[in-house]
Chain A
C-alpha cells in the first residue's frame, strides 16, 4: 500500500491554509502570551487570501517542485488548483467545512475523501487529510505562556509554549519561537502528549507584504524520520481580496 505520498501534494494545499492556522502572536513590553499570539495573528491571518506557492519535496532520489494557487476564506472554505508540473496541472481540491473533494482532469472525476480515509495517515505518514482540514486558530485550541527569550537566525525571539485546551487536536503541545520585533514565528515544534518531539517547522525569509511581516519560506520536517523535509515558498500572496462565492463550489472543480 503506497499512497502515502499523496500527502506531499497535500502540503501544497496546507501551504495556502497555513497562514490562517499558524497564528502565534506577540507584543513588546509586558506582553502576555495571548497578546503575542494576537499580534502574530495580525501578521499572518486574514479574511481571505489568494496564494501562489511552490513546494519542493526532497525525495530519496529526486527533488521536485509543485506550484499551486489557492483561494481561501476564513477557516472553512478553500480551493486549490495545481499549476505545475504538467502531471499535476489542473488537479483541484475543494474543502468545505469538513468535507474534501479532489478533481483530476486525467480521470475527469471528482473523488470525495471521507470517513476513515480522512483520519488515515496512510502508511503512517505525517499528515492525514484531517490534519490538513484542521485549521482552527491556535488561540482557540491552545493555552499559551511565554517561557523565555532566545535568539534564532540572528533575531531576538520569545519562546512560547502552548498546551491544548480542547481534545480534538493533532498535537497536544507546541513550542514556538516568535520574532520579538516583527511577531512572526521563526520556528515551531510539535510535541506528543508524552513530550516526544514529533515535528519541526522553520520559517524564514520574513518580508513585508501588504503591511504585514510574512515568512516566505517554510521547511517542514518529521523529527522521527530521516530525511530533508519539505520546503514551501510563497511566490505571491494577496490578503483580504474579495473572492467570488462560486470559487468555493463543486462546480468550480470541473
Chain B
C-alpha cells in the first residue's frame, strides 16, 4: 500500500506533465469506449429495427418460400391450419401473404411484391391501420396500400396518389386494380420498403383466390417465449421455423467486419497515448537516479523500486480513467441522448441503418476498455523501469548515467 501511496504522491507532484499524459490517455479511453459503443448501438439498432419491422421474433415460413427467389412465391403459400391459430387470433402472430406483381406508377413498369397483412396487426411496426379505411374519393374497387419512403421516392408517389397494380391470381388470370397510397412510412429496414406494396391481407387473398392462405406467419415475442419452439430450420406442422438469430445473422456478420476495422483505430489511438506514458517513464528513470539510489540506500530492494516506478506509470491510466469519467460520462451521455446522425444510404448488404444511431455502452465494454488501458500502460511503464534492476546503488546515488 505504501508503494501505491508514494507512487501516487510522486505522480501528483509532477504536476503538469502528469496531467498532460493523463489527458491524452483519457481521450484514448473515451474514444475507444465511444467507438465500440457506437458499433454496439448500431448492432442493437439494426437488430431491433429488423425485428420490429421485418422478422418479428421468429417466423414460420412455407417450406417453399425463398426470399431470394421470387419464382418460388407462386407456390410458397398454403393454409396454416391450426398452426399458431390462437396466437393469430389474439394478435400475437401475424400471417403475411406475398405475391409478385407489376406496378405502373406514371406509365413506368416496376416489379413489386404485394404483401398482404392484417390491418389490425401489432406484431410489426408497419402502420397497417392505415389500410383499414379508404377516403370517400377512392373508388369501390380501389385497394388501400402503404409503402415505404424509398419505394415512394423510386415511384415518385405521394400519399393520396393512385397507381395501377397488375397481378395474376392462383389460376394465372391477370387482374389489375388501382391501389390508393393510404400512407407512406419511414423505416430503416429496406426489406419491407424497396419494391414492397403492403395491402390488407384479406384483399390480397380475395384478389389472388388464395383464401385463408399465407406465405409466412410472423411471430411476436410472446409466442417464442411461451412455446417450446422447434430447432431453427426444422419443420413444424409442415412449416419451417426460423428463429430470430437465424434471421439476424447477416447483421451480425456486417458488424463483425466493421468492428475489426475499428480495432485498428483503437490500437493506434491507444498507441499514441502510451507513447506519452513511455516517454515520461524513460525520463523519470533517467532523471530520478538519485532518488532511486536513495530508495535503495534506504534498504529497498531494486525490485521494490522498480515496482514503485511501474506503479507510478500505471497510475497514469487510473487517473486517465478517472479523468475520462469526469468529462467522458457527460459527453457520452449527451451523445447517447442526441444520437449520432447517419447518412441516408442503402447499405450494400441491405442492412437496416437508422438515420441516428444511439451508442450503447455496456458494462462489459467499459470494463474491457478499462482493463485494456490499465494493462497496456502497465506494460509500457514496466519496460523503462526494468533498467532500475540493473542499476548499482552507489552510481545511482551520484546520479551517474548507467
Contact = CB atoms under 8 A, between A and B. Distances in A.
Asked if A and B touch directly (CB within 8 angstroms), the answer is yes
Interface of A: 115-117, 119-121, 123-124, 130, 164, 167-172, 190, 192-196, 198, 224-226
Interface stretch (B129-137, B148-156, B165-173, B370-378): B165-173
25 contacts: A116-B72, A117-B71, A120-B71, A121-B102, A124-B111, A167-B171, A167-B173, A168-B171, A169-B173, A171-B174, A172-B175, A192-B166, A192-B176, A193-B173, A193-B174, A193-B175, A194-B141, A194-B177, A196-B164, A196-B166, A224-B102, A224-B107, A224-B109, A224-B166, A226-B107
A75 B28 CA distance: 79
A171 B173 CA distance: 6
B172 A192 contact: no
Contacts of A124: 100-102, 109-111, 166
Contact of B109 (A120, A167, A196, A225): A225
B101 A170 contact: no
A198 B102 CA distance: 12
Contacts of A192: 166, 174-177
B74 interface: yes
Nearest to A134: B172
A121 B101 CA distance: 9
Contacts of B69: 116
Interface string B52-91: 0000000000000000010110110000000000000000
Interface residues of B, number: 27
A179 B370 CA distance: 90
Chain B CB within 10 Å — which of A130, A167, A194 has the most? A194
B104 interface: yes
Given A117-B71, A226-B107, A130 B174 contact: no
Can you list the 10 inter-chain pairs with the closest CB atoms, starting with the nearest? Answer: A124-B102, A116-B71, A196-B176, A192-B176, A168-B171, A167-B171, A193-B175, A192-B175, A124-B111, A224-B104
Contacts of A170: 168, 172-174
Nearest to A115: B71
A135 B101 CA distance: 24
A164 B173 CA distance: 10
Nearest to B76: A116
A198 B176 contact: yes
B104 A130 contact: no
Contacts of B75: 116
A117 B111 CA distance: 16
A157 B84 CA distance: 58
A168 B173 contact: yes
A196 B171 contact: no
A247 to B, nearest CB: 28
Nearest to B107: A226
